[in-house]
Amino acid sequence: MPIFRLIVLLLLIVFAGGCTVSPIKPVKQTVPVEAMVILPPQPERLDEVKEKNKPQTPAVVIRPNVLKSTARQKISPVIEKMLARINGSLNNENYADATSLLERALRIDPKNPLLWHKLAGVKLTEGNYAQAKQIMLSSEG
């Protein structure tokens, strides 16, 4: 009988151990990958992202009535025609053509500040900041 008592005692200990309360650990709920909802990109948001990622370059301000603003200085008809072509090149972002036209115009009229200003603006747009600064400094005198 002592073995029977020993077995009963062991069973009582095992059952009593099962009745104890263990601390409850919070269970992290994970969302399965299949249950995730991926929304398609919104068109207006794509435009915003494109604008943010667009490199910022200084803009050349092109005024159509720029010839009227230089009323104090007489501009020859040849330079007026060249300015129209220069403005067209700048509007089409053809900076190489605009630069060559401006250089030709400056050989004709080297004291025209508008031409120097436009040439410096083209250099700024191209990212040639040192050249733009040099052009503006040399055109002051």
CATH code for the domain of 88:
1.25.40.10
81 within a domain of the structure (yes/no): yes
Confidence grade of residue 101 (pLDDT, cut at 50, 70, 90): very high
Whether 114 contacts 70, CB under 8 Å: yes
The boundaries of the domain holding residue 86 are 75-139
79 within a domain of the structure (yes/no): yes
What is the residue whose two structure tokens read 């263990």? 22
49 within a domain of the structure (yes/no): no
Q: For residue 125, is pLDDT > 80? A: yes
The stretch 73-102 carries a mean pLDDT of 90
67 within a domain of the structure (yes/no): no
How do residues 45-72 score in pLDDT, each as one tens digit? Answer: 555 656 666 665 555 544 444 444 444 5
How do residues 8-47 score in pLDDT, each as one tens digit? Answer: 877 777 776 666 666 666 666 666 656 666 666 555 555 5
Residue 23 pLDDT: 65
Q: For residues 70 and 92, what is the distance between their CA atoms, to the nearest angstrom?
A: 24
Residue 110 CA to its chain's centroid (Å): 37
111 within a domain of the structure (yes/no): yes
Kindly report the pTM of this predicted structure: 0.49
Residue 76 pLDDT: 87
8 within a domain of the structure (yes/no): no
Distant-in-sequence, close-in-space partners of 47: CB < 8 Å, separation ≥ 6: none
> How many domains would you assign to the chain?
1
- Backbone φ and ψ for 103, nearest 5 degrees, come out as -65, -40
SS3 content of the chain, % helix, strand, coil (to 5): 65, 0, 35
